[in-house]
Amino acid sequence: MRLFVSILFLFCFVLSLAAFEAVRNEIGIPYYEQQGYHGAGVILGVVDDVDITLNDFRDPATGHTRIIAYKRYYLNEQGVGQWDIWDSVRIDSLLAADYTYNQYHDFDTTTLFHHRKNDHGTIIAGIMGGNGTTLQADGITQTGVMGVCPASRFIIVSRPYDSSLYFIDSIAQRYGLPWSSNISWTIGPENEVKMLTGVGKPGKVVVAAAGNNNFKNTRKIVFAPGDTLKSLTFDPTPLDSHIVGTIGHTTYYFYMTSFNLVYTGGHAFKTQFRTQYAEKKEFAFTDSMTGDSSWYLRGDATASTFEEFKVRKYHITHQQFDFYIQAPRTGNWYVDFIKGADPIEPETLELSFTWKVDNYQPYGEVALGTNDISRHTMVDFALLDELITVGGNVHGIIDGSRDTVGDICYYSGVGPSFNDRIKPDLVAPAHGMDVLAVHNLSSMVSLVFFGTSFSAPLAAGAAALLLEEDSTRDAAQIKAILTERAVANEFSGTLPNEVWGYGILNLDPSKTDQERMTVPRVSAPLFFAQPNPFNPETVFRFSLEQVRAGERLKGCLRVFNVQGALVADISKSFRQGALRSGQGTVRWDASGLASGVYFAELVLPSRRLSTRLLYLR
C-alpha cells in the first residue's frame, strides 16, 4: 500500500505551461554548465520507484542504461513483499528485449513495476538527471525536458525502508563516487541519514521535501472545561468519483491525508473516526506507537469494501492521520474531538488540514477559530538537521484564483522544527513546471505537476553539481553553500524565516550578490573551530554578518562528547563577546577531558549549527 499512504502524492495535468528550461535558468544551472559541469562523476540516488525503460535514463551515445543499480520492492504470488536487485547488465538486457512498452509494464502486475505506480519517482528522476530524450517507443524523439544533471548515473531504491540509503552508499563506494539522494516521502530512514551524512562525512548528501501540509489550512480551537469539543463532518460531494489509482485489481479512493494535530493537553484529549457505516475507532492522543498504527473500520485490505486509517505519532505533540477506502463513498463520515477520562482544562488545540481532493483545497467544515498559524506543519523526518529540506514556490499558474508566480506554494510545509531550528532550509520551484512525461501516449510529451516532491529533486541535483565541483564537501558544507546563495523575492520577506528558509534555490553566486543589494536578508552564520585537531585549546570562530538593529540574540554554545553528554557550557563567554559585535571568537580549554571526538553546538534564534572537534593529547 505504499503509494497512497506514505508518499507525497501529487496531482498532475496534461498541459504545457512553464517550460522546464526556464526552471533550470531560474535556479542558476547555466552557471555550472558553462564551466563544464553536468553531473558526471556523481551518483543520483532516487528513493522511489522509477520507470527504468525511459530513454532519459540511458546514455544517448551507447544506448546503455545510466542506472547502475535498481533495488525494487514487489509482492510475490502469495502477497508477501520481497526485494529484487537489478544491476546495469540486467537492465540493459531488458532494454534490448523485444518488449513493447505496455508489455513491459503489464507482465508483472502484482508488483510496483506498473507505470501507474512509478509516475512519482520517474518524474523525480527526470528532474534530477533526465537527459532530454523520451520514451523507448511510439516515435517520440524529443521532449526538451532536461534535468539538472544529465550526465550523472543513478541508483534507485523503490521505497525508503530496509536500508535504502545504506544500499545507495554501498554501491557508490564500489564505484568510488560521491552521491546526492532525494527522498520525497513523509517518512524516511532517519538513522541512516544521521549515520551517513553530516559534518566530516564527505561526498554524501540527502535532500528531502518539506511536505505538502500548509499553514494556510490551519486553525486554532480554544475550548472550555467540560465541553464536547468538536465534530467535523465530511459529505461525499465531490468525493464520490475521486479515484487515485489501483493496486492489482483494486481501485482506491484517497479522501484525506496529512490531517495534523498539535496538542498540549496531556491525557484529556481523544480523537474518534466514524465511517458512513456507523463504525468508529477512538484513541487517546498520547497513545504511543511504533511506525504506523493501522485500523480497518470496515472489512480488511482484501475485502470488497473497506475503510482504513493510519496514525503516526511524531515528537510529543504531533500526530498525522491518513484515511483511504476502496469503494466510492455514499454517505458522510466524521472526525470527532472528544474529552478523555481526565478532567479537561482550558487548552488550545491546533489543527492543520490538508485534503488530497480538488487540488488540495480544504473540504468540509473548518473548526471554530479564525486565526491562521504558521508554524510546525512539517513532520519529523523532514526536520532532521542533517537533511537539506526544501519547500516550494510557484513557477507557473495552474489555478489563477490561488496561484501567484513567485509566491510560496499554498501547500508548502512550514517550520520551524520543534526546537526552533530554521526549517525548511530553502525553497525551489514546485508548482506549474513542465516535467518529463511518463505515460505511453504520443500526445503526452510533458506533464505539469506540483508539490514539494518536485522542488526537492531540483536541490538534490544542485547538490550533485556542487559535489562534482568538489567531491570532498560534506552535507553541512553543501547546505551552507545552498543557503548562502539562496535568493529572496518580493514575497519572501526578510530571510531566513520559517516559510522560505534561507530563500529560493540558486547556484549562481552573482545572482545572489545582485539580489542582496535590494532585498533585506540575514546572512547564514559561519561557525568553526581552529585549530582542529587541537591540544588542549581551540578557538571557536563565528561571524554573524548582519544582525538586525536592536535585536539582542540569545545564543548558547555547548560542547558534547560522542555519547551526547554535555562536557562544557561556554554560552556566557559567547554572549559577552560575539553577539555585541556581530562577530568574534571564544577560546575553549579542554584540559581534563579525554582525547577523542567532541561536537560543539551553537544555537541561535534563527539556526542551530554544529562542528566536529578532535582533541589529541
Split at pLDDT 50, 70, 90, the class of 367 is very low
CA 211 – CA 418 distance, rounded (Å): 16
Least confident of 19-33, 438-452, 603-617: 438-452
Q: What pLDDT, on a 0 to 100 scale, did the predictor assign at position 66?
A: 96
pLDDT band at 194 (very low <50, low <70, confident <90, very high): very high
Cell of 458: 531540483
CA–CA–CA angle 50, 293, 328 (5° rounding): 70
Mean local confidence (pLDDT), 381-394: 91
Is residue 98 predicted with pLDDT exceeding 60?
A: no
Residue located via cell numbers 496561484: 403
Looking at residue 301, what is its pLDDT?
58
Is the N-terminal amide bond of 429 cis, ω within 30° of 0? Answer: no
Q: Work out the number of other CB atoms within 10 angstroms of the CB of residue 148.
A: 30
Furthest-apart CA atoms within the chain: distance in Å: 73
Query: What are the b/e assignments for 158-180, b being 16+ CB within 10 Å?
Result: bbbbeebbebbbebbeeeebbbb
Q: What pLDDT does residue 106 have?
A: 38
Query: Does this model's pTM top 0.75?
Result: no
pLDDT in tens, 287-318: 555 445 666 677 665 666 667 766 665 554 55
Lowest mean pLDDT among 209-213, 406-410, 448-452: 448-452
Cα-based angle 527, 531, 534 (whole degrees, multiple of 5): 120
Question: Which range is least confidently modeled, 225-229, 393-397, 450-454, 460-464?
Answer: 225-229
Q: pLDDT over 90 for what percent of the chain?
A: 25
pLDDT confidence tier of residue 13, bands split at 50, 70 and 90: very low
Q: What separation, in Å, do the N-terminal and C-terminal C-alpha atoms of the chain show?
A: 54
Give the model's pLDDT for residue 53. Answer: 79
Q: For 130-167, how does the pLDDT look when each residue is reduced to its tens digit (9 = 90+)?
A: 987 754 444 444 455 789 999 999 999 998 878 999 99
* Residue 529 scores a pLDDT above 90: no
Check residue 261 and give its pLDDT: 58
Beta-carbon-side half-sphere exposure of residue 5 (alpha carbons within 13 Å) = 19
**CA-based angle 519:524:525, to the nearest 5?**
140
CA distances from 218 to 17, 258, 382, 506, 574 (A): 30, 12, 19, 30, 38
- Output the CA torsion 441→88→184→480 (10° steps): -130
Q: Which domains does the chain have, with CATH numbers?
A: 12-213+379-470 (3.40.50.200), 215-352 (2.60.120), 526-615 (2.60.40.1930)
How far is the C-alpha of 384 from the C-alpha of 406, rounded, in Å? 27
